[in-house]
Structure 1
Amino acid sequence: MDRRKKPLDVAASSLVDLKAELFRKQEEFKKEKLLKDAGFPAKPKTSNKKPSIWSKQNAGVKNRSEKDIEQKTEEDQTLDKSRKKLEEKAKLYEKMTKGDFPGEQN
């Protein structure tokens, strides 16, 4: 969609909140400027922000990853065991195709 064709729907309360925040920031800037002109150092800003939702890890993620690692190692062991059995079968089949039957007595 083209933004020029359709204006954004904004609630009046949102505009009032935005204007109030803008006014608050302007007043804060004026106070800092007056203090700076008077020779007082500006106080360091303290951050009262809440931690973001991305900084917190979901519950149980660590346990699940440990289980996944254990499962992966078990699968690898099973795969190796299966590969060895198949290689043994392949060798046995090769012997059988050459006419050398290991299980039979002549």
Structure 2
Amino acid sequence: MATIKVSDESFAADVLGSEKPVLVDFWAEWCGPCRMIGPSLEELSDELGEKVTIAKLNIDDHPEAPGTYGVRGIPTMILFKDGKPVATEVGAKPKSAIKGWLESQLV
């Protein structure tokens, strides 16, 4: 499974209405650390796709959702379960750290 792109318009359906947990990566094109973790998130989407959907939201194109969820710096990853934010991780991390954090939240 590849990561999915979400927008302010699709956020409610794609994230809040999802049957399974959704990790939203709030990012921007100009953000070096955001681009750095992109490939790791793609790989994790393949590895953990049955347990979690990984979504990307460009904060420049879609500023509403980041404002709603208090995103101050990027990259920010917020895990949503049953339509609610349950865990937040800010900053670029190695793939192993992201995977460990994510798996600890999915139990």
TM-score by length of 2: 0.20
Higher strand fraction: Structure 1 or Structure 2? 2
**What is the TM-score with the length of structure 1 in the denominator?**
0.20
Q: Which has the higher helix share?
A: 1
